[in-house]
């Protein structure tokens, strides 16, 4: 298939009717003809939208979704991100490369079926279970990327620099033994992963300093310099200011808040994605927006972990770019992320319809356009909009779905994001390749069976 006819399509310059979309063998859009005759082109089952990038995730954590929702006996009612992390370590210390591949494939299929067409994998599970490097130091990266790509999803792989157990010179704990890297070793993983997937146009490899508590700015600068020698446009992601404790520790160690400390010492620009950035003051909010970086927001995980709320409205007013991710994968649905992003503001301000602007008064329309564009930027991909030269990452909704039918324009997105309990996504194309049709993926049965068997092995003693 190299063409598609849609009665309604959200193009880069707005909604259009009777659109004939064509693309080349590389999956890039070569033609957009509103008001066209369909001819023999396949017809979309409903409205066509640009696919969404899931800009932040740790694929292996899909296996623990819903398994950290019981208060631990030693937590005395004080469960937090820091206690959740212990459950994550239990899983991280049990996984084998084949487990990582199976979990990643199943996750990617779930994401595709809900409208994600690309995924950024923030990957810090590097070594064997005893903490020693594999014969190929990129073993876990290659297993994870392989599983993701089996699904057909586009991948931006971000091997993680993880050198410290906290601010200052705190060493990694024993339960973090699979994570340890230096600038030199993480760049070797980047090189090996890029070399293995060098002929695949749907794999991009970047770098992710885990956080300021795990990677001092001097190490970050060294790693970024090395990355520039490999690919000076490669994406760079970092966790920052997710937790109040992180902010307090940074202030105690450096006398500055995390985002200020980072921006003052590192040349953060449009290549960067600052994930979470939950706890910003006003000056940090404006400074981050001015750098052109993307704020990577993961509302369902941030709610699940009790992180807090990102200052979306002042950040957007300052011109800041956003994208969304599923992080720990307690949800794999972009509509749910966007709804929660808006609902957090409504609950705080006790007002409605907040994440809009004068040009697009629809909340759903505003958020989908912003997150699709910001996600593509964070992935380092020529996607995020239906426009000439962009990758043909497309999703088609079911025009007969009860929350889509009898709606037009941005009201379609409002219906999906704020009303649909079941996804209305019918079909998905990644770089022009049809990977989901009638709500089904060709590998979903096989992948789900393998995933269930994987869970049985991992949690047999639980």
Q: How do residues 329-363 score in pLDDT, each as one tens digit? A: 999 999 999 999 999 999 999 999 999 988 889 99
CA–CA gap between residue 415 and residue 365 (Å, rounded): 10
Answer yes or no: is pLDDT of 137 > 60. Answer: yes
- Kindly report the backbone phi and psi dihedral angles of residue 96, in degrees, each rounded to the nearest multiple of 5, phi listed first: -105, 160
- Tell me the two tokens of residue 414: 């409002």
In 3-state terms, what secondary structure has residue 13?
Answer: coil
Answer yes or no: is pLDDT of 75 > 70. Answer: no
Q: Quick one: which of 100, 184, 172, 109 has its CA closest to 143?
A: 100
Answer yes or no: is pLDDT of 73 > 70. Answer: no
216-264 pLDDT per residue, tens: 999 999 999 999 999 999 999 999 999 999 999 999 999 999 999 999 9
Q: What is the average per-residue pLDDT within 47-74?
A: 93
Answer yes or no: is pLDDT of 82 > 90. Answer: no
CB 167 within 8 Å of CB 212: yes
CB 33 within 8 Å of CB 406: no
Decide if 3-48+400-446 and 52-385 have a common fold: no
Answer yes or no: is pLDDT of 59 > 90. Answer: yes
- Tell me the two tokens of residue 371: 């997150």
Q: Quick one: which of 157, 153, 116 has its CA closest to 140?
A: 157
pLDDT score of 1? 75
- Mean pLDDT of all residues in the chain? 96
DSSP secondary structure letters along 244-300: HHHHHHHHHHHSS-HHHHHHHHS---TTEEEEE--S--HHHHHHHHHHTPEEEE-HH
Catalytic residue list contains 58? no
CATH class label, 52-385: alpha beta
Answer yes or no: is pLDDT of 138 > 70. Answer: yes
355-385 pLDDT per residue, tens: 998 888 999 999 999 999 999 999 999 999 9
Q: Please say whether the dihedral angle defined by the alpha carbons of residues 239, 241, 245 and 247, taken in this order, is positive or negative.
A: positive
Count the neighbouring beta carbons within 10 Å of the beta carbon of residue 366: 22
pLDDT score of 358? 80
Q: Which is catalytic among the residues 99, 249, 307, 327?
A: 327
Domain ranges of the chain: 3-48+400-446, 52-385
145-196 pLDDT per residue, tens: 999 999 999 999 999 999 999 999 899 999 999 999 999 999 999 999 999 9
Q: Which is catalytic among the residues 157, 276, 329, 401?
A: 276
**CATH 2.30.40.10 is right for the domain spanning 3-48+400-446:** yes
pLDDT score of 462? 56
DSSP secondary structure letters along 328-364: TTS---HHHHHHHHHHHHHHHHT-S--S--SS---HH
Question: Please, which pLDDT band fits residue 81 given cuts at 50, 70 and 90?
Answer: confident
Q: Quick one: which of 402, 385, 457, 403 has its CA closest to 9?
A: 385
Question: Please, which pLDDT band fits residue 461 given cuts at 50, 70 and 90?
Answer: low
In 3-state terms, what secondary structure has residue 205?
Answer: strand
Catalytic residue list contains 276? yes
CA–CA gap between residue 292 and residue 230 (Å, rounded): 22
């Amino acid at each position: 298939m190299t063409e598609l006819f849609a009665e309604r399509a959200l193009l880069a310059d707005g909604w259009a009717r009777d659109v004939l979309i064509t693309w080349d063998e590389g999956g890039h859009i070569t033609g957009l003809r509103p008001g066209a005759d369909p001819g023999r082109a396949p017809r979309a089952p409903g409205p066509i939208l640009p696919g969404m990038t899931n800009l932040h995730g740790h694929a292996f954590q899909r296996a623990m979704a819903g398994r950290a929702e019981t208060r631990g006996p030693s937590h005395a009612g004080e469960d937090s991100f820091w206690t959740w992390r212990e459950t994550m370590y239990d899983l991280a210390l049990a996984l084998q490369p084949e487990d990582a591949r199976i979990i990643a494939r199943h996750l990617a299929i779930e994401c595709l079926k809900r409208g994600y067409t690309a995924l950024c994998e923030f990957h810090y599970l590097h070594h064997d279970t005893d903490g020693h490097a594999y014969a190929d130091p990129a073993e876990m990266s290659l297993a994870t990327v392989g599983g993701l790509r089996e699904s057909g999803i586009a991948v931006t792989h971000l091997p993680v620099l993880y050198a410290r157990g906290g601010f200052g010179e705190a060493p990694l704990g024993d339960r973090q033994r699979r994570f340890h890297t230096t600038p030199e070793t993480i760049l070797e993983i980047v090189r090996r992963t890029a070399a293995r997937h060098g002929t695949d146009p749907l794999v991009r490899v970047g770098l992710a300093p885990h956080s300021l508590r795990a990677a001092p700015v001097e190490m970050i600068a060294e790693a970024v310099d090395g990355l520039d020698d490999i690919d000076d446009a490669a994406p760079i992601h970092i966790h920052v200011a997710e937790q109040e404790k992180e902010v307090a520790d940074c202030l105690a160690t450096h006398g500055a808040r995390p985002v200020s400390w980072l921006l003052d010492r590192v040349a953060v620009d449009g290549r960067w994605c600052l994930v979470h950035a939950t706890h910003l003051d006003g000056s940090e909010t404006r400074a981050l927006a001015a750098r052109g970086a993307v704020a990577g927001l993961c509302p369902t995980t941030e709610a699940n972990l009790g992180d807090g709320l990102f200052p979306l409205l002042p950040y957007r007013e300052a011109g800041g770019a956003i994208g969304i991710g599923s992080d720990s994968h307690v949800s794999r649905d972009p509509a749910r992320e966007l709804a929660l992003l808006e609902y957090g503001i409504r609950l705080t301000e006790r007002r409605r319809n907040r994440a809009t602007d004068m040009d697009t008064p629809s909340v759903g329309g505003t958020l989908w356009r912003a997150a699709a564009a910001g996600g593509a930027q964070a992935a380092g991909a020529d996607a995020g909009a239906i426009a000439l030269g962009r990758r043909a990452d497309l999703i088609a909704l079911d025009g007969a779905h009860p929350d889509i039918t009898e709606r037009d324009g941005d009201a379609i997105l409002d219906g999906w994001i704020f009303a649909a309990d079941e996804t209305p996504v019918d079909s998905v194309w990644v770089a022009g390749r049809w990977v989901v049709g009638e709500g089904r993926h060709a590998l979903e049965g096989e992948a789900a069976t393998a995933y269930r068997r994987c869970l049985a092995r991992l949690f047999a003693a639980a």
